[in-house]
């Protein structure tokens, strides 16, 4: 291998310092206890003494891998960042039952306590929005400094059958397609929620991770997320700031704006040119908006998780 020489190395180092290029985040993988004997896989980066910790909760059957751009950005910005695989997803324990948001809420509580998370910003995307709502309803908001809800309104449960029949029809049709051919459906889902040019290996990784959820579990999980429980009032008593981030293409955008209107300390940000995985399609804009929100927060969260 040809050496580039010490002067060249010094010049490269000087240029990097001059333009403040961020170092690549050192992302580690680990496992921690969830509730009811579940073991959760997570990816983490950053120092435990960072001014804030950001905990990312993914969507339906999606692993923590999808948050890679956020792990890198927020670690370089000086934050501690953790992204979990929810139960029955990715590298976490698969359960044949008890996969509702209310069960995952207990997992979030255990993650906060087990990893000693303080000054916490809790971010839920899609299915993760239901998880965050269930968490706050059960455990309160004492352990968090702020909440971020990404591209999903709170579920109306059975009420959505009459109030949002078109949405429910799409969900039920999707369940049928998923049950008939899980891999084809999963691959199609990943290409539908991401519109930015993306390497085929990334899509393959996301699809492979999603296949770790057994199809029957996945169908039941989605039904419990969206069809069985009305969570629209779950955050009404929340006294912490809430940021709602929505894709401009989301047909449920008005519902998200309506959700913000019911919360005492909420604001809505709409990001254009993005599909459902808005943080993946427009990472710079999403990260900028999230970081600006985090910088407005106090530091009232406690490692006890409200216990």
pLDDT (0 to 100) of residue 123: 98
Any idea which residue has 């084809």 for tokens? 184
Q: Read off the pLDDT of each residue in 10-22 and give the average, rounded to a whole number.
A: 34
pLDDT, tens only, 151-179: 999 999 999 999 999 999 999 999 999 99
**Burial class of residue 83 in the structure, from the number of CB atoms within 10 Å of its CB (0-12 exposed, 13-18 middle, 19+ buried):** buried
CA 50 to chain centre: 20
pLDDT at 16 exceeding the cut of 90: no
CATH 3.40.50.1820 fits 22-295, yes or no: yes
pTM for the model: 0.89
- Quote the Cα angle for 151-280-135, to 5°: 45
Tell me the three state secondary structure of residue 94.
Answer: coil
Tell me the three state secondary structure of residue 80.
Answer: strand
pLDDT (0 to 100) of residue 26: 86
pLDDT (0 to 100) of residue 299: 57
pLDDT, tens only, 176-211: 999 999 999 999 999 999 999 999 999 999 999 999
Q: Are 122 and 144 in contact (CB under 8 A)?
A: yes
Mean pLDDT of the chain: 90
Q: Read off the pLDDT of each residue in 128-151 and give the average, rounded to a whole number.
A: 98
**Domain segments of the chain as ranges:** 22-295
Q: Read off the pLDDT of each residue in 23-30 and give the average, rounded to a whole number.
A: 78
pLDDT, tens only, 53-85: 999 999 999 999 999 999 999 999 999 999 999
């Amino acid at each position: 291998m040809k050496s580039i020489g010490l002067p060249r190395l010094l010049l490269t180092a000087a240029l990097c310092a001059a333009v403040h290029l961020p170092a690549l985040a050192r992302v580690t993988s680990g496992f921690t206890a969830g509730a009811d004997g579940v073991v959760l896989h997570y990816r983490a980066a950053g120092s435990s003494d960072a001014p804030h910790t950001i905990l990312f909760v993914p969507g339906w059957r999606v692993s923590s891998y999808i948050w890679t751009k956020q792990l890198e950005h927020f670690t370089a910005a000086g934050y501690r960042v953790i992204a979990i695989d929810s139960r029955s997803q990715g590298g976490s324990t698969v359960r044949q039952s008890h996969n509702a948001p209310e069960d995952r809420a207990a997992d979030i509580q255990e993650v906060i306590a087990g990893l000693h998370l303080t000054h916490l910003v809790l971010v839920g995307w899609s299915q993760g929005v239901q998880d965050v709502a269930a968490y706050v309803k059960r455990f309160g908001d004492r352990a968090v400094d702020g909440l971020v809800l990404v591209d999903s309104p709170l579920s109306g449960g059975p009420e959505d059958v009459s109030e949002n029949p078109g949405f429910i029809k799409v969900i039920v049709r999707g369940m049928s397609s998923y049950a008939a051919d899980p891999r084809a459906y999963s691959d199609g889902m990943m290409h539908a929620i991401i519109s930015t040019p993306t390497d085929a290996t990334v899509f393959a990784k996301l699809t492979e991770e999603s296949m770790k959820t057994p199809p029957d579990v996945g169908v039941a999980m989605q039904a419990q997320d969206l069809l069985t429980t009305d969570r629209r009032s779950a955050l009404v008593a929340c006294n912490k700031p809430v940021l709602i981030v929505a894709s401009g293409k989301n047909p449920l955008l008005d519902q998200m704006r309506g959700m913000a209107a019911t919360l005492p300390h909420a604001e809505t940000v709409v990001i254009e040119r993005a599909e459902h995985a808005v943080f993946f399609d427009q990472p710079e804009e999403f990260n900028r908006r999230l970081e600006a929100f985090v910088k407005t927060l106090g530091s009232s969260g406690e490692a006890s998780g409200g216990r």
